[in-house]
Chain A
Amino acid sequence: MKHKIQNILGLSFQLAKTNFKLRNEGSYLGIFWYLLEPIVSFAVLLVVGGILAQNTIPYYPIYLFIGLIMFNFFTATTNYSAQTIINNGSFLKSIKINSEVFVISGVMQFLFSHSFEFVLVVALGIFLKMNILWFVFYPIVLFFFSLFIIGVSFMLSVFSVYVVDLKNVWAVFTRLLWFVTPIFYIIPTNSLVHTASMLNPMYHFINIARDLIIFHRIVEIRTFILALVSSILVFAIGLYIFEKNKSKLAERL
Chain B
Amino acid sequence: MTKEIIKRIEVKNLSKRFSADCKSSIGALSIFINFVTFKKEKKEIVVADNISFDVYSSEVLGIIGKNGAGKSSLLRLIAEIYKPSSGVIKTHGSVVYLTGMEQGIVAKLTMRENIYLMGSVLGLSQKDIRKKFDDIVDFSGLRDHVDMKVYQFSTGMLSRLNFSIMINCVNHHNPDVLLIDEVLSAGGDADFQEKATQKMEDLIKGGAAVILVSHDLLVLKRYCNKVLWLDQGTIKEIGLPNDIIEKYHNS
Q: State the A residues within 8 Å of B (CB).
A: 7, 10-11, 14-15, 18, 21-22, 25-26, 90-97, 162-166, 169, 247-248, 250-251
Contacts and interface: CB of A to CB of B under 8 A. Distances in A.
Contacts of A15: 117, 120-121
Contacts of B80: 96
Contact of B121 (A25, A97, A165, A166): A97
Nearest to B125: A10
A22 B109 contact: yes
A179 to B, nearest CB: 21
Contact of A94 (B29, B31, B99): B99
A163 B26 contact: yes
B192 interface: no
Given A10-B126, A95-B122, A250-B81, 5 more contacts: A22-B106, A22-B109, A91-B121, A94-B99, A96-B80
A9 to B, nearest CB: 12
Contacts of B99: 94-95
A18 B103 contact: no
B206 interface: no
B28 interface: yes
Interface of B: 18, 23, 26-29, 31, 76, 79-83, 95, 97, 99-101, 103-104, 106, 108-109, 113, 116-117, 120-123, 125-126
Interface of A: prevailing SS = helix
A14 B26 contact: no
Contacts of B120: 10-11, 14-15
Contacts of B123: 7, 97
Contacts of B108: 22, 25-26
A25 B108 CA distance: 8
10 contacts: A11-B120, A15-B121, A94-B97, A94-B103, A96-B79, A96-B95, A163-B26, A247-B83, A250-B82, A251-B82
Given A14-B120, A93-B76, A95-B97, A165 B28 contact: yes
